[in-house]
Structure 1
Amino acid sequence: MPRISNFLGQVSDADTDDLPAGAAQQQKNVSTTTAGELRVRGGIRPQTLTTTTISASAYHTFQKLCYCKTRSGELIAVNGIDRGFRWDGVTTTVEALGITAPAAAPTITRAELGASDKGDGIDDIDDNSGLYRITSDASHGLSNGDKVRIGNVVGTGAMANDLNNQEFTIESASGSVFSLTGTTFDGTYDSGQAGTWSKSADVSDASADGYGATAGDYVFGYRYIDDTATAVPSNMSALTTVTALTSDQFTWGGLSSTTEARAQNKVELWRSTSGVSNVLYKVATLAYGSIGGGFVDQLDDATLNESAATDAILILTNPPTDNSLVARRFEPPPDDRPIVVQFQDRYFYLGTVKYNRSTVTTNGSTTVQGASGETDWVSTMAGRYIDIDGEPAPIEIASVTDGDTLELVTAAQTSASGKSYVIYPEASNSRQVDFSEPDEPESVPAVNVFTVQEQAGDDDDIVGAMTLGSSLFLLGNRHKYSFGFTRKPLKDGTVRYVEDRGVFNHDCWDVYENKAYMMDDTGPYVFTGGGSQPIGSAIKDLWRKDGIGNTIDFAKTASFHVKVDRAKARAYFFVCFTGDSGTQPTRALVYNIRRQSWDVYHYPQKIGAAATVQSSGETRFLLGSESGAVHMADAGNADILSAEVSGTATAGSTTTLTDSGASFATAVVGAPIYIYEGTGKGQIRTITTRNSGTQVTVASWTAPDTTSKYVIGAIEWNWKSTSFGFPQDGVRHERRVGLKFTPTTGDQRIDLRLYFNGSSTVHSFETGQVLGDAVEIQEDNKSDVVFFMKTARSVMENSSGAEAFRFDGTYSRLAHGDHKVAIELRGYAGDEVPKIQQLDIEGVEGKK
């Protein structure tokens, strides 16, 4: 006699006669995580979260956002359609990812310094105990320790060379005289010339004076900086070159304005010293409101050369041997990359979006019209390509006029309406990876890119990336590559082909206990870094599409995703089955990692994403569902509602249920409603509308009537066994199904259903029967043997949690030509959850 107490999950990829006794050929919404018990999964319940809008901008819904946390705790997000954003996790606003460089080079006007700008006059220079002593033509107001610069001195000996364009610390300051520390007097001053002195300029002071230029070529540029704690700059503008004469000053103008709010903070002015083109020094920092021009730069080269390290910047690292960008490394990440991941100290951007919302009309011109109000095109699509059905080749998009109108670089050759299309970046992008500068996720110069070379004869796109161990794994639909580097990805980075397993998309992997749980077109598998191990052999038929049971809908794989519930050691593979409505999954294939068994969950809501969070120190599993709701898994016994709502219909139609005695709350919208007795028994639908406190609307079903009992918030479940053969020994055997379960406080029940001889049609009994206090076949649903679980159902005695049903003909009048039977159990969970500990099947051949 098979005695089943160890439930092994679904094993559907096998002959139903060959399954182990505890395996299910088909099951729904039951969990086999715990050995020795079959129980209904926990309910999902909406969470009330404190929310704050951090962006007034709407991000495109065609492609979900991909998030990445930086090492400094900020969040960056991209979707491959819009400009990405960054959020500091504290303020209530987000900022566009990166800052676009100024549009134009500065305009620089040179002019000779005026006499008053060259410094105060020197009346005399004489010897003070071996030091040069300066006599100013007026009281100087200096103090010992101040610094001065000397210029325009003419004299004999070494005097001119010692003093001109040099900075000195002063001592013996008094009235109009001061001495220059550390000097050695030599020569005679020519008082007939206009020697000058000035207090040394401070380059951090935007109004600083100096002695002006040294004769030669100078380069000038500027950039924007934001107001974050660690200021992020834009790229340097294009540079302007000016040839200056000695003692020239420079007037800045032509600084470009910007529409980017983040850049409207401050502007830094940078220039070189004479004859140098690879090093720039910060001349001044201006408020953005002061960019109208007119800033006068009188700083001399000596002052700039003493700038702090943070106020000097290279254009290139060390040309010509190392032309790595420095001042021009601050290029924003590309807006056509939908994936970002962090690896080591850099951020990698990859993937492409193939946009095809609605249809288009062509008219043989450069204008393409989208279906009004449906195509939702955005400006970032300019520069991408549109491939229109019927056109001989893709055409580059010149500009986006509005959400429904594109202008092309060359005219379309067709004139047609209702045509399908796809918009995508340059084709070569599909296998390229862009990367940032170290610890600068917003600095992605165009040269920071490498290509993943195809090595397997199958040029699939790179659709995801995953860090595992010491490698970054680049994931194609059907292949996997590892990438690693020591210091510079372009110089010492290596890409290595790993294997011919991939993912449907970037969300089809999650890491738990140093293993990645992944899903591709051949099923779920575990990847350890060196190789893969399939884990889905028990349910392989779902992928194979060979007509056995429900199958994976491969047309919707863009929305599939994988997430591990760490607390319960379960890997969820969210998928759509053929025939499911919408494009987001309502089903999860759940792999019990410890027991290596499979469960199949079905939810009343579409699940677009999943995540784990910490709540009161406990790891909880969250589900992001339709209409922007967030649900916590295993948060009660019912779905959506905190408690079931039950009753008996007083009327109904093919899309409604009415209960005149009910008071349906608005919370029932989105909850499942299940008919557990009477007309329409076994139907479950999601409530789409609450018409009133007594009526709800659902998708089409068999109309309920006054016999229909319902539960709102119910979790429908079933479990169907392998087929058990009848002994062929000519002996009449007693055949019985026995159940051991946990009795319930309320009205709960389990339906037992029989399938003979491999038929997919449930057996229907000839008559209704009451078989004791807790088992009956109801007249209006004679295919179900109902086991009542309520403890106090009988006035004679309480339920012991053990009931049985004979099906050898004594009760059920079955024919005796049958040769095998499969057992199905089904029901619902609501306020209470059915828990089955043991299933005994007498009179059949045993299985291990």
Structure 2
Amino acid sequence: MVTLINNGLSPSQPVTMAVAPDGVLYVTNGIDGARRWDGQTNSAETAGISASTAHCEVAGSGSGDIYGSFDVYTRFVDDAGVPSSFSAATTIAVTSGDSFGQFDYTAIPVSDEDRVVGRQIWRNTAGQSTTFYLDVEIDDNTAASDSSTRTDGELVQQTAMRYLTEDGWPNANRFGPPPSHMQVVVSFGNRMWYLVPADYTEGSASVSGTTVSGSGVQWTRQMIGRRVYHGGKLSGVISEFTNNGSLVLSTSAVSGFGSGSYYRIGDDDERNNVHFSEAGEPESFPLDDDGNYTNVITGQEDGDKLTGGMPLGSYLYLLKESHIYRLTTAGDPRRDAGIALVAERGCLNQRCWCRVEGMAFLMDRAGVYVFRGTQTEAVSPPVQDFFRGRINWSRSKWFHAEASADEETVRFFVALDDDLWAKSALCYNYRLKQWNEDEYPFWMGASATAPLGSERRLIAGADETVVLMNEGVLDGLAPYDSLREDSLPTGLSETVRGTVTGASTTTIRDADADFSFGNWHASPTSVGAPVTVIDSNGDHQTQRIASISGSTITVQNDWSTTPSVDDIYQIGAIEYEAKFGSFRFLDEERSNRRGVRITFEPQTEAGILNVRRYLNHSSSPLSSNFPYDNSIGGEVTRDSPNFQVDLTTAEGVMLQRFDDGFEDGSPADRIVEIELKGASGKERTKIYSIEVQGVQ
């Protein structure tokens, strides 16, 4: 079951997440403000509680011995006791001749935040403003008035709190909410750390005087205090949020600009800043009396910019585009934080690193490398062509990475070529030191590991759903929620593989099919499962399902070739392909038969596996000039490049003989490459060995 804990966040920026020592999950994107989720409730809530900018009114009444000068503050609290900082102050000064017996508090501020369930009124004792005491506790967020008859002697028996620490740092105002403009959150050393200011550039804008007007934008209240830039110049600081298309600057724009212009909302002076919470208080970010954060470390200025933060071992590493710095602290970063350069490699964003067995794998524009604290080792040279021309770097803020321990593989999810979102993954098996590419039918928005049973498994967010990776035999559908299945359960009446009886540019029809997937754990229409059509030559094409009605499947995009009657279709087929290196034919053909031999696990249900040959470094596979059966375990049709393997062959062996030959020194075929190309059926395809014969 998937629980939606938050929606309505800006689609312009990915979120980052971190779990605090108390088990609460914190989420931020630098646009909408941080969120928190305790894992127990059905929804996330705003992280931190904003202090009131208003103040209560104070008066004295009745006879008594209370007199002096008193400062009074209000603060909000939630049901877990998490407070806000102090509100604006109210001061009341009373001489001994006007002493009274009761404090009357009216116009007590009310919070507009849902998590606030109570309020507190704090005041000092006469003659000092160092320590404040809890005078009144209100168990609701509605009452406008309350009172107290406590004298100073009685008040000092209540909960006390210094206004400033002994070192002069904010204390009563240490409960500021996390900085809303930072897009990265990290949990390290019993504190939460926020860094990397987010830029907002969606739509267009204009500035006239103090008014900022936008078109195609989704501005938020959290943008107050941020800066508007145009043409690389600062226009002004945002002081008010009117609505999602209108903002107000604190002063007339330094540099105005007309409608439809490119603009940017950001914080250039925070590019190297790292904010940190109080120890053990993940929602406490101290503010001074001017409302400025005080728990801030400024990194080294090197012309590079921060992209993330990575806890590894006993250190927090600050990641930039092309540098890594190590942050050290003995316990109080305000006093003893140290920052040192440790590597001249970087990281694309906060989601493009993952830890594995005490080391980390990271991706920057130069490739993928392993980091061990001070040393880096490039691991991506075998796939460097992806980094030279195929990766769509303009979409790099949406890339992400995660490690799968059961596969001993790290996946870097990237957008290739013209893709706008991550639909492919560069996969590195760190045990075998081998690479492969995964391509998915869904856009992969995020990835993580999660506990499932006794294991941690890789999950991914795809099209508003959560999918379990490396699980099952079909993509996008499952009759049950069981794990580690190698085949579909027997006895299912629903049709997942059948024969096409009719088709159009966007549909296929099977008059004999039963497409009643309503009771399945995941039905093909719930996530838009892929459906693959295989023609008589073994060629196959795949589209995602848009809907199923009766015996007709409608797909989301046009088929590249309209399917024919008697073609085979497979719902949820997982396509795969592997192309191996070049092999040179042996010169002595007569004593060296040429061919390819594949062993596999025999299946009870048909699957798709084609063997293709490429000669002399050609980019096109060799087609057969005639159908022949000079083989075991398969067949090839005329003018087709596909030798179609029969995966139900009881022996689990396929052998295809080659009829190509040459004499040494002739211009005949000398080089061969073998490619396997297929798609899963109702069972997981298991290939054990591939042997190319007659080559060296």
Shorter-chain TM-score range: 0.7 to 0.9
Equivalences for residues 505-524 of structure 1 within 5 A: 505-524=349-368
Q: 2:369 aligns with which of 521, 525, 529?
A: 525
The alpha-carbon deviation at position 785 of structure 1 amounts to 1.8
Instruction: Classify the secondary structure of the residue corresponding to 1:541.
Output: helix
- How far 1:514 moved relative to its partner? 0.9
Residues 1:554 and 2:393 aligned together: yes
Task: Indicate if the aligned counterparts of 1:218 and 1:244 stay in contact, CA closer than 8 A.
Answer: no
Tell me, in whole angstroms, the C-alpha distance in 2 between the residues paired with 1:480 and 1:625: 31
Match 1:386 to one of 220, 228, 244? 228
1:463 equivalenced with 2:315 (yes/no): no
Counterparts of 1:652 and 1:394 in 2: how far apart (Å)?
58
* Counterpart Cα distance in 1 of 2:135 and 2:207: 55
1:353 aligned residue: 198
The counterpart of 1:87, out of the listed 27, 30, 37, is 37
1:449 and 2:299 matched: no
Are residues 1:675 and 2:675 paired?
Answer: no
Within the candidate set 112, 128, 131, 1:276 is matched to 128
> 1:275 Cα shift?
1.6
Equivalent runs, 1:723-762 vs 2, <5 Å = 723-728=582-587, 734-762=593-621
SS at match of 2:397: helix
Tell whether 2:164 aligns with 1:316: yes
Structure 1 runs not aligned, ≥5 long: 1-48, 118-210, 546-550, 792-797
* Alignment-mate amino acid for residue 375 of structure 2: G
- Contact 1:735–1:806 (CA<8 Å) still a contact in 2? yes
Task: Provide the rounded CA distance (Å) in 2 between the counterparts of 1:474 and 1:262.
Answer: 35
Q: Of 607, 624, 639, which aligns to 2:475?
A: 639
Query: Is 1:578 aligned to 2:417, yes or no?
Result: yes
Is the Cα–Cα contact under 8 Å of residues 355 and 422 in structure 1 kept in the other structure? yes
Which residue in 2 is equivalent to 1:618? Answer: 455
For residues 467 and 835 of structure 1, what CA distance do their matches in structure 2 show?
39
Following superposition, the deviation at residue 287 of structure 1 comes to 4.1
Q: 2:384 — aligned with what?
A: 540
Partner of 1:829: 680
**1:785 and 2:639 matched:** no
Instruction: Give the direction of change, closer, same or farther, for the CA distance of 1:518–1:363 in structure 2 (3 Å limit).
Output: closer
RCO higher in structure (CA 8 A, sep ≥6): 1
**Is the 2:537–2:642 Cα contact (8 Å) retained in structure 1?**
no
Q: Which residue of 2 aligns with 1:597?
A: 434
Partner Cα distance (2:31, 2:191) in 1: 22
Q: In structure 2, how many angstroms separate the alpha carbons of the residues matched to 1:621 and 1:63?
A: 23
- C-alpha spacing 1:495/1:255, structure 2 compared with 1 (3 Å): farther
Structure-to-structure mapping, 1:206-605, within 5 angstroms? 211-213=65-67, 216-228=68-80, 230-240=81-91, 242-245=93-96, 247-249=99-101, 251-262=103-114, 264-288=116-140, 292-293=144-145, 295-297=147-149, 299-305=150-156, 307-308=157-158, 311-318=159-166, 322-360=167-205, 362=206, 366-371=210-215, 374-388=216-230, 393-408=234-249, 409-410=251-252, 413-417=256-260, 419-424=261-266, 426-445=267-286, 446-454=293-301, 457=302, 459-545=303-389, 551-580=390-419, 582-583=420-421, 585-605=422-442
CA pair 836-301 structure 1, distance change in 2 beyond 3 A: closer
Query: CA separation in 2, counterparts of 1:218 and 1:368?
Result: 42
Residue 829 of structure 1 aligns to which amino acid in structure 2? S
Asked whether the equivalents of residues 69 and 75 of structure 1 are also in contact (C-alpha less than 8 Å), the reply is yes
Partners of 1:442 and 1:410 lie apart in 2 by 34
> Shift of the alpha carbon at 1:238?
2.4
Given that residues 486 and 492 in structure 1 are in contact (C-alpha distance below 8 angstroms), is that contact kept between their aligned partners in structure 2? yes
CA distance in 1, matches of 2:635, 2:537: 17
- In 2, the alpha carbon distance for the partners of 1:284 and 1:749 equals 74
Task: Tell me if 1:98 matches 2:48.
Answer: yes
Paired amino acid for 2:412:
F
CA deviation digits over 1:104-156, x for unaligned, max 9? 34443356x63xx5xxxxxxxxxxxxxxxxxxxxxxxxxxxxxxxxxxxxxxx
Helix, strand or coil at the partner of 1:695: strand
Give the TM-score of the pair, scaled to structure 2: 0.88
Given that 1:648 and 1:659 are in contact with CA atoms closer than 8 Å, whether structure 2 keeps it comes out as yes
Alignment of 1:764-783 (within 5 A): 764-771=623-630, 774-779=633-638, 781-783=639-641
Q: Report the Cα distance in structure 1 between the residues aligned to 2:593 and 2:2, rounded to whole angstroms.
A: 61
- Residues 460 and 659 (structure 1), Cα distance of their counterparts in 2 relative to 1, 3 Å cut: farther
SS of the residue aligned with 2:581?
A: strand
Give yes or no for the alignment of 1:806 onto 2:654: no
The alpha-carbon deviation at position 729 of structure 1 amounts to: 6.6
Aligned equivalent of 1:695:
553
1:705 maps to 2:564:
yes
Deviates more, 1:677-686 or 1:336-345: 677-686
Alpha carbons of 1:637 and 1:287: their partners in 2 closer, same or farther (altered >3 Å)? closer
Q: Determine the structure 1 residue equivalent to 2:290.
A: none
- Structure 1 residue 243, shift from structure 2 partner: 4.5
Question: For 1:347-392, what per-residue CA distance to the aligned partner results, in whole angstroms no more than 9, with x for missing partners?
Answer: 11111211222334x3856544433xx4222222233233346x86
Residues 204, 259 of structure 2: 8 Å contact kept: no
SS at match of 1:769: coil
Pair 1:267–1:245, CA change in 2 (3 A):
farther
AA aligned opposite 2:258: S
- The whole-number CA distance in structure 1 between the counterparts of 2:320 and 2:671 is 46
Following TM superposition, by how much is the alpha carbon of 1:65 offset from its aligned partner in structure 2, in angstroms? 3.1
Q: Secondary structure at the match of 1:591?
A: strand
- Measured in 2, the distance between the counterparts of 1:561 and 1:706 equals 42
| 1:525–1:534 CA contact under 8 A, matched in 2 | yes
Report deviation, 1:323: 0.7
Quick one: structure 1 residues 579 and 96, their matched pair in 2 at CA, closer, same or farther if it must change by over 3 Å? closer
Task: Please list every run of at least 4 consecutive aligned residues from structure 1 whose deviation after the TM superposition is greater than 6 angstroms.
Answer: 729-732
How far residue 427 of structure 1 moved from its aligned partner, in angstroms, is: 0.9
Q: Which amino acid in 1 is paired with 2:598? A: L
CA distance in 2, matches of 1:616, 1:800: 34
* 1:817 paired residue among 651, 657, 668: 668
2:207 & 2:337 partners in 1: Cα distance?
Answer: 48
Instruction: Mark the structure with the bigger radius of gyration.
Output: 1
| Structure 1 counterpart of 2:583, one-letter code | F
- Distance of aligned partners of 1:656 and 1:422 in 2 relative to their CA distance in 1, 3 Å threshold: farther
Q: CA deviation at 1:258?
A: 2.8
Aligned 8 A contact 1:756 1:820 in 2: yes
State the distance in 2 between where 1:289 and 1:832 align.
59
- Give the drift of 1:554: 0.9
* 1:324 counterpart letter in structure 2: W
CA distance in structure 2 between the partners assigned to 1:339 and 1:537 by the alignment = 30
Q: Which amino acid aligns with 1:73?
A: G
CA distance in 1, matches of 2:537, 2:500: 10
CA distance in 2, matches of 1:364, 1:109: 45
Measure, in 1, the Cα distance between the counterparts of 2:595 and 2:235.
68
Shift of 1:276: 1.0
The answer as to 2:446 corresponding to 1:609 is: yes
For 1:573-605, what per-residue CA distance to the aligned partner results, in whole angstroms no more than 9, with x for missing partners?
11111133x32x121222112111112111111
Please tell me the residue identity of whatever aligns with 1:619: R
Give the count of matched residue pairs: 661
Name the aligned partner's letter for residue 271 of structure 2: S
The verdict on how the C-alpha distance between 1:604 and 1:331 changes in structure 2, with shifts beyond 3 A counting, is same
What residue identity is the alignment partner of 1:476?
Answer: K
One-letter amino acid of the counterpart of residue 410, structure 2: A
| Residue type at the aligned position of 1:462 | L
The one-letter amino acid paired with 2:466 is: V
